């Protein structure tokens, strides 16, 4: 295939290419680069339809929706300014100092599920399914089917995961809002599962872009059966992972800037699963005095 030149194009087509950048790119594309790569940028998941609209065409313009958004953000700004006058996090100072337990997420209605999102390997062509609904006892009921068969796309080698993650809390004007758990040392959950092992993932605010996929992870073992179990996991047990791999360098969890918490299932045991969560909270355990559970070794220690 010969390389076409812009100067050899018909005058009418050359003139129209000035107003149509896709036509101009396709006209000068080299033989080694597929033309479809020039007309669309970014990764597109298998099975997802193409979206060739211009960036400004993807914006949903709604005047009244914008007015409601302004009211919402100014209401949040007012709350941010008045809460410090009462005390830390809007609580009296004595109540804040004596606080031993705090419920962070509690599921008592359909609106409580709006702050959570679920995903699975179906987004990359897998066959797993995951759903989230409100249980009969006003609890979070996570269920679905796990399938570890990889998609037949010639690229993906491993598959089989389902996850549930809390959404990022936002302050006024869509600024990030962090949880401050520095007064506590233990994660407290009340759950009921089917005996499968899960992973608890806590995301914190990072200072560098290459740390955006870092998570603090620990295991959650469910007993199965009809009885609820209270799980307490010290924060000192969490270790850093990056896209499923454990870091060589570890350090304790940063408790002053917590962003999200999530639960991941990927035990390679295909079949249905379910996990019921009553509440997720934090507590202060005075019997636990450990700072960090993992000992770090120096590669070249000095004598």
Both 183 and 249 in one domain: the answer is yes
Decide which of 124 and 29 is more confident: 124
pTM of the model: 0.74
* Angle formed at CA 121 by CA 119 and CA 127, multiple of 5 degrees: 115
Q: Are residues 133 and 268 in the same domain?
A: yes
Do 228 and 278 form a contact (C-beta atoms < 8 A)?
yes
Residues 107 and 95 in one domain: no
Assess whether 106 and 237 both reside in one domain. Answer: yes
Query: How do residues 195-216 score in pLDDT, each as one tens digit?
Result: 999 999 999 998 888 888 899 9
Q: Residue 56: which residues within 8 A CB-CB, separation 6 or more?
A: none
My answer on whether 197 and 157 are in the same domain is yes
Does the pLDDT at position 244 exceed 80? yes
**Mean pLDDT score of the chain:** 82
Residue 152 sits in the same domain as residue 278: yes
Instruction: Name the domain count of the chain.
Output: 3
Same domain for 110 and 174, yes or no, is yes
User: What's the DSSP call for residue 281?
Assistant: E
109 and 257 both lie in a single domain: yes
CA gap 126, 145 in Å, rounded? 11
Residue 113 belongs to domain with CATH number:
2.60.120.430
Whether the per-residue pLDDT at 23 is higher than 70: the answer is no
* pLDDT tens figures, 266-279: 999 999 999 999 99
Q: Is 26 helix (H, G, I), strand (E, B) or coil?
A: helix
Q: Is the pLDDT of residue 245 over 50?
A: yes
Any domain includes 67: yes
With bands split at pLDDT 50, 70 and 90, how would you rate the model's confidence at 38? Answer: very low
Task: Give backbone dihedrals phi and psi of 23, rounded to 5 degrees, phi first.
Answer: -65, -40
- Three-state secondary-structure class, residue 199: strand
Q: Which residue has the higher pLDDT, 123 or 235?
A: 235
Distance CA 224, CA 247 (A): 31
pLDDT confidence bin for 10, thresholds 50/70/90: low
**109 CA to centre of own chain:** 22
Neighbours of 139 (CB within 10 A): 21
What is the span of the domain harbouring residue 22?
Answer: 6-39
CA distance 185 to 136: 32
pLDDT one-digit tens code per residue, 135-188: 888 899 999 999 999 888 778 888 899 999 999 988 888 888 899 999 999 999
- Answer whether residue 299 is part of any domain: no
């Amino acid at each position: 295939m010969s390389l076409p030149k812009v100067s050899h194009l018909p005058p009418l087509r050359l003139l129209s290419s000035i107003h149509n950048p896709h036509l101009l790119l396709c006209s000068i594309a080299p033989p080694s680069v597929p033309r479809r790569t020039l007309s669309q940028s970014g990764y597109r998941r298998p099975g997802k339809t193409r979206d060739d609209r211009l960036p400004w065409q993807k914006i949903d313009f709604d005047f009244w929706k914008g007015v409601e958004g302004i009211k919402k953000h100014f209401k949040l700004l007012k709350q941010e300014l008045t809460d410090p006058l009462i005390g830390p996090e809007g609580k009296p100072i004595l109540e804040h100092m004596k606080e031993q337990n705090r419920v962070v997420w509690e599921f008592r209605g359909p609106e409580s599920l709006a702050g959570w999102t679920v995903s699975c390997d179906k987004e990359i062509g897998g066959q797993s399914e995951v759903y989230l609904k409100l249980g009969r006892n006003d609890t979070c009921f996570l269920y679905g089917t796990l399938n570890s068969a990889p998609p037949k796309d010639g690229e993906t080698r491993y598959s089989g995961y389902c996850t549930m993650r809390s959404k990022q809390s936002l302050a006024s004007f869509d600024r990030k809002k962090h949880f401050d758990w520095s007064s506590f040392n233990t994660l407290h959950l009340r759950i009921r599962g089917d005996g499968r092992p899960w992973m608890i993932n806590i995301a914190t605010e990072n200072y560098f872009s290459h740390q955006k996929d870092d998570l603090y992870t620990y295991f959650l073992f469910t007993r199965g059966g009809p009885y609820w179990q209270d799980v307490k996991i010290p924060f000192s047990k969490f270790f850093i992972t990056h896209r499923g791999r454990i870091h060589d360098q570890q350090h304790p969890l940063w408790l002053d800037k917590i962003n999200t918490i999530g639960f991941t299932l990927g035990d390679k045991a295909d079949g249905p699963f379910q996990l019921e969560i009553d509440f997720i909270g934090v507590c202060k355990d005075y019997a636990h005095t450990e700072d960090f559970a993992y000992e770090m070794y120096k590669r070249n220690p000095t004598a």
